[in-house]
Structure 1
């Protein structure tokens, strides 16, 4: 079957107007200029260009085919023997080759030599490339992320014993690749991990597991990490150990677990998720059994950052589709892009998408620092990750929904990419913990680590280093905003537990958006100082002008109606915001003039 020869609107959307997803992103390369070393920036450039072209062309076509032809479960062979094999469309196999082999997305941060990096590549590199990939295909990046995360967990907690598995999980060659999965959710214990009922039984050097896993993505993985209850170890999460369940036993026979059925998912349809019954499945303990929950939390945290990254990619694809559509669609004698109400519709989509990318790459950069031994960065990434998961995944749902409406009736038709973007966006908020679970995780960071004070201290310190006089007014507003958030964090923790939980979502959203506003301003100062002009300052000022004042009784910290001057300035330069281009300092200034807290207000 010739997979590269699709036609119709989906192909047209990835034609000449969108021939390179990376090249058409005005925010990505300047961020990488700031976050990467000069050597890493040089190395990523040709890969970025290559991937951007593949994503807009072949990968986008393959993704549409794989979405329309989801995997199928074959439980029995012709002789009636139970085989539990999943059959994938050839498009999925080709996408896997692109992700795991050609671009090494699961191997980059684990071994030297991948894509020319002399050492394991920084997380920033991996997430930047994956963000471009996600703009074409969302579902496959779940197996990619879990393969990457499984290698990380084994390397951190039991690297000597599982050296062969780590090598296979990080293989850039499909012939030696083992994909990973995390089977954690059970029917009675998804959100509440302490309710895990799978039982582990020791048999000398190995264990067997009995139980059911209710939502197991990448169900045909070669290396499965899961939690099970260890007899005599205690109740709740203390009683859970982490175990590696291989697809094959040491003798090469199929391990004793059954794939009961595949999930008929709303989104991420290219990738197989299923229900699994473990019937005395062969397993090995990862590290000491009593550390199981902490080990799984490490894998979960990295997977959550991957969810935010993929959601940012969906947002970027949705924005690009909307810009391209409105530029070519003529209504009442004028392109939609030039009509005031449509420009006002597109503006928040553009700035929210750019803010989301900044938060994802900031989290990746701090993860790099943490892995290098920076204790403060470790504390910072612990709270940035749930903040990114909470806010960015919610934003993706709104942005992809608005982009569907922008396209009109065609946006609701499966021939176009918008329905797939919307379906996939909703999964980002559910996988690895729904929004409420994530908000409670942020609250846990506040209680256990004083993360509200840490965030305020770190970003105020960074804002104070911005000495560009054009940047200072916004930096002063954000400085006061961080002070207010630190105080509100203390007040939150001083209240009754039920009120803390009820307010956790609002506080998480306000904090995430304040981080994103600070990062946009920091990047604006960098770009202005590097001779790249004031486009980013207009983005930063526009984003800041949309935030609710924190002293409102009903504050959420989220978007508020923009002042008229901010609207006029940003809308007048919508083309430059959408696709890049020079913006004068007067335009950037005007976007801040009536922002609450501004000295110009």
Structure 2
């Protein structure tokens, strides 16, 4: 088993989104990581999940040490992630995996997607280390050159991992209620306060928000500070890890409560920009959340397909039972749609970092859209996969309980679903983000000329017009009605975007001689989007083997789905 080789969607997406040189360069790492994820890494992840980290607050001499002990399996996984594959470093510096320049975000998210199919918990420290380096490079590159070098090291002896401390008891969602106070001592600053939920709690470099005297109330009064684990003289900084959280999922990684007791801190960038800088860090972390959710969906799909093929029921494989096929098909198409949206967002992040302002506006809304819908989908797909495995799916000897536990995390961390939906609404109010999304993906649909693809594009273009009308109507209602309705609209906007991306990928694969499989996937997803109450297309159910494994399907199968779309009397608005 190789998680990369068994995925029919991943490589064709990378073919389209990467330059030929980058695509060739990533292939050896993709194959190696796919094999590790399906074997050694998967075994290490199971061991680390069963043996969570432990906090040692005091040393033998009674001195406070606040050390977190991880199981050796976790340390081995960290070596693979940070050192062997450089997942936290590759988008910041050249040389990782042979890249002559920093690797594209598409490469990083593509490889991370394979890694997370085996190990979810470590992806949080990876993401925060990556994001911390990004923020320091963006806002204070000269002042924190040494810290950036440590955060992007690929040698474990030189590596510093990062963390982001935001949540306080009284101020989780409402960051403006942050109470941690910063004090300027002339030569340095200190912070005093309590952080309620700190993941990768033993990180070497912490970025956090604190209230700056005289700077105002709410988020305006918050500055960003870097809190090192060790002081310049090598002694411990004065903050305490009070306890570790006993979490439902992500159990291999340490999350805890932290008391900042006049902790030494260094301002990052302009103190008046603290919240804006943290929002930049949050946005990248949110995209990482969506990537992890897509990875969990893919692993759940793979487990379900493999199980049902091996499980005979009433004289034939469970996979071949009609109702099971109708259960598996939506799972597969949802997983592929999620991966497409994540990698599309990564590509737009690459464009944004290169100075494309249109891409910057687009990634600003694509990120919350992806986090909102993909993370919710992962909860359903992993739950369905648990049920498919039956009683064994509920037993900790199998991977399904871990997938289900971890899937619930994405909808909570870095902003719960309601917070994320309101962020989409904010983008719509301020920047007409729904118009930007519709114009971007509708224009790409207009360019599709393949005679097999074009009719699907016409159907989807009509739906984009409906989505624009719905968005304008939503904005015309009262603020309370907007807030009440944005969740449903954000989900529909995300799914319509995913349908467009699936169709775009289908056109690419047909043009490059890869056949009509993706068109059948795209058509099936579009059918589910527009006719959610209708039975699934028979043509897709009959071709489930090739949809699950890859390979060409008859063009007539996709045409049969189109006939259903064009012949139906009701289109879901």
TM-score category of the 2 structures, normalised to the smaller one = over 0.9
In the TM superposition, what are the counterparts of 1:2-401 in structure 2 within 5 Å? 19-401=1-383
SS of residue matched to 1:211: strand
3-state SS of paired residue (1:485): helix
The answer to whether residue 543 in structure 2 is matched with residue 561 in structure 1 is no
Please report how far the alpha carbon of residue 541 of structure 1 lies from its aligned counterpart in structure 2 after TM superposition: 0.2
1:24 counterpart SS class: coil
Q: Secondary structure at the match of 1:176?
A: coil
Shift of 1:220: 0.3
Alpha-carbon contact 1:593-1:600 (below 8 Å) kept: no
CA distance in 2, matches of 1:421, 1:108: 27
Measured in 1, the distance between the counterparts of 2:7 and 2:421 equals 30
Q: Structure 2 vs 1, CA of residues 140 and 433 (structure 1 numbering), >3 Å: closer, same or farther?
A: same
1:501 and 2:483 aligned: yes
Deviations 1:63-99 (A, max 9, x none): 0000000000011111111111111100000000000
Superposition deviation, residue 596 in structure 1: 6.2
Partner of 1:434: 416
Residue equivalent to 1:581: 551
Tell me the alpha carbon deviations over residues 481-527 of structure 1, each in whole angstroms, 9 at most, x when there is no partner.
11111121111111110000000100100000000000000000000
Distance 1:476 1:246 in 2: 55
Structure 1's unaligned 5+ residue stretches are 1-18, 550-559
Equivalent residue, structure 1, for 2:462: 480
User: Please, what TM-score do these two structures have when normalized by structure 1?
Assistant: 0.94
- Whole-Å separation in 2 of the counterparts to 1:478 and 1:282: 55
Kept after mapping to 2: 8 A contact 1:474/1:598: no
SS at match of 2:259: strand
3-state SS in 2 of match to 1:108: coil
Offset at residue 424 of structure 1 (A):
0.1
Q: Does the 8 Å contact 1:477/1:597 carry over to 2?
A: no
For residue 480 of structure 1, report the CA deviation from its aligned partner. 1.2
Residue number in structure 2 paired with 1:590: 560
Structure 1 residue 393 displacement after superposition:
0.2
Cα deviation for residue 562 of structure 1 reads: 3.6
Q: Deviations over 1:114-173 (max 9, x none)?
A: 000000000000000000000000000000000000000000000010010001000111
Alignment deviations for residues 551-596 of structure 1 (CA, whole Å, 9 cap, x no partner): xxxxxxxxx1344xx5210110001111111101001111221226
C-alpha distance after superposition, 1:430-456 (max 9, x if no partner): 010000000000000001111011011
How far residue 598 of structure 1 moved from its aligned partner, in angstroms, is 7.1
Taking the aligned partners of 2:155 and 2:497, their CA distance within structure 1 comes to 38
Partners of 2:284 and 2:505 lie apart in 1 by 24
The 3-state SS of whatever aligns with 1:260 is strand
| 2:520 is equivalent to residue 526 of structure 1 | no
Comparing 59-68 and 581-590, the one that deviates more:
581-590
Q: CA RMSD in A?
A: 1.2
SS in 2 for 1:327: helix
Taking structure 1 as reference, are residues 110 and 597 closer, same or farther at Cα in structure 2, changes over 3 Å only?
farther
Is contact 1:183-1:225 (8 Å) kept? Answer: yes
| 1:300 shift after superposition | 0.1
Aligned with residue 443 of structure 1, among 410, 425, 428: 425
Aligned to 1:16: none
Gaps of 5+ in 2: none
Look up the SS of the partner of 1:85 in the other structure: strand
2:81 is paired with a residue whose SS is helix
Aligned to 1:468: 450
Cα distance in 2 between the residues matched to 1:163 and 1:488: 48
Structure 1 residue 226, shift from structure 2 partner: 0.2
Q: CA deviation at 1:204?
A: 1.5
Q: How many residues align?
A: 571
Q: Which digits, 9 at most, give the CA deviation of each residue in 1:343-387, with x for residues without a partner?
A: 111010000000000000000000000000111000000000000
TM-superposed CA distance for 1:543, in Å, is 0.1
What is the alpha-carbon distance in structure 2 between the residues aligned to residue 582 and residue 92 of structure 1? 40
Q: Distance in 1 between matches of 2:541 and 2:64?
A: 61
CA contact (8 A) 1:43 1:116 kept: yes
